[in-house]
Amino acid sequence: MVNIQIHQRDYQRLIEQYGNEFAQEVSRVTQTFTQRIQRDAREHLRTEGKVDSGALINSIKEEVHLYNGKVSGQVYSGTKYARFIHEGAKHEGTEIVPFFVSFQVAPSLRQWAIRKGVLYQKRKDGQRRRRRSREATWYMTSQKTGKEYRVDIKKGGLKVNIQPTLFLEKPFERYKEQYLRKVQELVR
């Protein structure tokens, strides 16, 4: 989550000096910049090729609140896996290394693997099934060896290697100075 906040003491001083219209203007500027961060975060995911179902992009929201003498702007994602896409996963020092993720722990990973054809079922003639069957065996093919393996869909999992995208942090860093300049212009 990216959070922009102007604290009560500073905010009160500014209202006393510049009036309530100032509060509305700071809120409008904060809204403008949170919308830009939201837009750029979504675009960053598109250009990084991190769009599958669209759930992550559609979950990126922005909010601005004016309460208790504070203006607070937030840009955040509501998915459980956003953190892993943002920061990457399984760090060993500065390296991100593949690690095993069980389908029991991450059922959405299993759904993704089926949707992308990583996991598949075969017909009796050896061709991939178009429709799933409860009785059919699941398979996957190793990217390294090209060998096909049977997979226990209940106990299996995948080796995962997720590089960080910093889809919220990069737009925030891009707009941080502009936002601060804009608020300083309002104070002058």
Q: What is the pLDDT of residue 52?
A: 85
pLDDT, tens digit, 9 for 90 and up, residues 41-69:
999 999 998 888 899 999 999 998 877 66
Ranges 76-80, 82-86, 178-182, most confident: 178-182
Q: Are residues 67 and 156 in the same domain?
A: no
Q: Are residues 73 and 30 in the same domain?
A: yes
- Percent over 90 (pLDDT), the chain: 30
Element (H, E) at 62: strand 60-67
User: Does residue 70 have a pLDDT over 70?
Assistant: yes
Number of domains, the chain: 2
Q: Are residues 124 and 149 in the same domain?
A: yes
Classify residue 86 by burial, with Cβ atoms within 10 Å: 0-12, 13-18, 19+. buried
Both tokens of 123, joined, read 């017909």
Residue numbers of the domain that contains 140: 99-160
pTM surpassing 0.85?
no
Task: Calculate mean pLDDT across residues 154-177.
Answer: 90
pLDDT, tens digit, 9 for 90 and up, residues 85-140:
888 876 566 666 777 888 888 888 888 888 888 999 998 898 998 888 888 899 98
Q: Distance between CA 100 and CA 143 in Å, rounded?
A: 15
Q: Are residues 61 and 118 in the same domain?
A: no
DSSP 142: -
pLDDT, tens digit, 9 for 90 and up, residues 16-31:
776 777 778 888 999 9
* 176 neighbors 115 (Cβ within 8 angstroms): no
Helices (H), the chain: 8-18, 20-47, 55-59, 82-87, 107-115, 169-187
Q: Domain for residue 27, yes or no?
A: yes
Q: Are residues 80 and 108 in the same domain?
A: no
Q: Domain for residue 93, yes or no?
A: no
